[in-house]
Chains A and B, each alone.
Chain A
Amino acid sequence: MSIKIIKAGVLTTLQDGGRSGWRSMGIGSGGTMDIFAMSVANYLAGNDEGNAAIEINFPAPEILFQQDAIISLTGADFLATINERALPIWRTLLVKKDSVLKFKQPVQGTKLYLAVHGGLQAENWLGSCSTHLKVGAGGYLGRALQKDDTINFNKTHFSCNENKILSWHVSQHELDKIYLPQNNIRCIKSTEWDLMNEVSKQNIISNDFIISNQSDRMGYRLNSKPLLLQQSTELISSAVDTGTVQLLPDGNCIVLMADHQTTGGYPRIASVIKTDLPKLAQIKSGQSFNFIIVSLSEAEDALLAMQQTLHEIKNASHLNIKKYL
């Protein structure tokens, strides 16, 4: 009842929706970079959203299945193959014991999720199986997966005769609602928006922001025409969150991502709306995007709409695989 990493990838980690209730202790939520793709990966594999999935970057690992399994791949497209046969993403897949999953090349996106029916066994730390790399807790021994690591999944009665791709899939229309237009990232004004000078308040909308290669799970650094404050201001540390856009002293911005610190001292000029964090997480370094400022009610409505979409995909996915369970 397990899978085995036969070749390591770059920062392959177990992640779920993250932990809550510990921010006041300096322990942030962490968790998946793309909540939409991770949730759908679980649904397609017949799980609830709370299970841990494997978050995969490119170069990706090679994975051996030591048992028949129902799996799914979502998020980034890395040209997956099983025993050298091409596999689509956003589908339920039946995998025969001794099959090898490989990834050839990154075609689109940066974060790919692998979920396995029954759920992957992972260390729960403070209410979440997400890997906390700094503390070295949660997930698989609190670290990225390495060659020869074996991850167990919960016992299921599933068995199959051959590898199979089920026909039902998440509609392109639903995916486009989340991931397109690729270069528009919506945000709302945050606490220190008004500290920016008038020109910068215009520039934040007209600027192209390029994701720097100094970007990681803690934050995406952006390069752009510098944004400026009306006057230099010394702020004292205060809470930040995933999606918070901080303005650094050099005029560039950083968007805080899943593994961000809980507090920060830079002006919080804007905040990427929760619904557009999956899209942002999938943008490669070197690519550019624009910020679009939206209202608070649009941000709230978008979040509810994404949750509704996830709910519908969950019902449809579970119905689809019922006969295989």
Chain B
Amino acid sequence: MSSYTISLLNETALLVSFQNSIDEIINEKVIALKQAFAKNNFKGYIETVPAYASLAIFYDVAIVKKNYTAATTAFEFVKNFTDQLISEINFTNTSKSNLVAIPVYYNGEDLEYVALLHNISAEEVISTHTSKPYRVFMIGFLPGFAYMGKVDESIATPRLATPRTNVKAGSVGIAGFQTGIYPLQSPGGWQIIGQTPIKIFDAKKDNPCLLQAGDSVQFISINKDEFEKLNEY
């Protein structure tokens, strides 16, 4: 068992919240619950939305009410179903995450700033950023935008005071202890340290998003020539 609360997001979605913190072990519970719903759900179930420490469950009120008449509200039924499902999950037995290697040409416009802030060299920022795989905690903000972490304290850097109006697709950035890749051109305030040649979002594919919550990402430093050879943009 695991401590959690269930609340109403609205009349078509409920929210299971674990502790309010950014933590791998908590996020593993979120993903375990998401996977449990994928295997075992109910009539009227639509989809789940995992976040750092919560999972939203979306459902069709009319279908739930029609099929499960014992509950007074659709919410009550989905809440009971969720409680039951959580009680059956073995949270210690988490599934192995999918490891994705992402090449990065570390030439970002904020690389020098991040180095300067921490009184280290740009090379040290790069070697630290590529020193370990990061967990994809959740996807949000933009289609396919993966919130990953946590980066080492020695490179953790606050967001820009004033966001840029235009960040290129493929830009790799840091925001606090998080790291992420812009899937689309967008306004944004993350400190940009590099550029990946790989499309992490491609609207033309059946599944447009390369990454999903629960994946692991290993960044690999590449040079300009390799970047140009691999460039998909």
Binding site for B on A (CB under 8 A): 20-27, 125-126, 132, 134-137, 142, 188-191, 235-241, 243-244, 261-264, 268, 271, 273-274, 296-297, 299-300, 303-304, 307
Contact = CB atoms under 8 A, between A and B. Distances in A.
Contacts of A244: 9-10
B58 A25 contact: no
Contacts of A191: 7-9, 15, 17
7 contacts: A23-B47, A23-B49, A24-B48, A24-B212, A26-B143, A236-B21, A273-B10
Given A190-B9, A241-B9, A268-B9, A23 B20 contact: no
Contacts of A261: 140-142
Given A300-B11, A300-B75, A303-B61, A26 B141 contact: yes
A24 B203 contact: no
Contact of B213 (A24, A189, A303): A24
Contacts of B172: none
A24 B11 contact: no
Contact of A134 (B13, B61, B72, B142): B142
B8 to A, nearest CB: 6
Contact of B46 (A20, A240, A296): A20
B181 to A, nearest CB: 12
Contacts of A240: 9
B125 interface: no
Contacts of B9: 190-191, 239-241, 244, 268, 271
Contacts of A190: 7-10
Given A27-B143, A238-B51, 17 more contacts: A20-B46, A23-B58, A24-B49, A24-B213, A25-B209, A125-B203, A188-B11, A190-B7, A191-B7, A236-B20, A237-B141, A239-B15, A241-B13, A241-B56, A261-B141, A261-B142, A299-B11
Contacts of B207: 25
Contacts of A23: 47, 49, 58
Interface in B137-177: 138-145, 147
Nearest first, the 4 A-B pairs at minimum CB distance are A263-B140, A239-B56, A271-B10, A299-B11
B52 interface: yes
Contact of A238 (B17, B144, B145): B17
Q: Which of A190, A240, A262 has the most C-beta atoms of chain B within 10 angstroms of its own C-beta?
A: A262
B212 A25 contact: yes
B72 to A, nearest CB: 7
Contacts of B62: 303-304, 307
A134 B143 CA distance: 9
Contacts of B47: 20-24
Interface in B86-115: none
Contacts, number: 147
Interface in B27-68: 34, 46-56, 58, 61-62, 65
A20 B58 CA distance: 10
Nearest to A273: B11
Contact of A237 (B11, B75, B138): B138
B222 interface: no
B12 interface: yes
A238 B184 contact: no
A268 B151 CA distance: 28
A116 B12 CA distance: 30
A132 B183 CA distance: 15
A296 B10 CA distance: 8
B73 A300 contact: yes
A125 B208 CA distance: 10
A26 B209 CA distance: 9
B198 interface: no
Contacts of A188: 8, 10-11
A25 B15 contact: no
B22 interface: yes
Contacts of A236: 20-22, 51-53
A20 B207 CA distance: 14
Contacts of A263: 49, 51, 138, 140-141
B78 to A, nearest CB: 11
Contact of B139 (A24, A136, A297, A304): A24
A297 B20 CA distance: 28
A300 B140 contact: no
B74 interface: yes
A299 B73 CA distance: 10
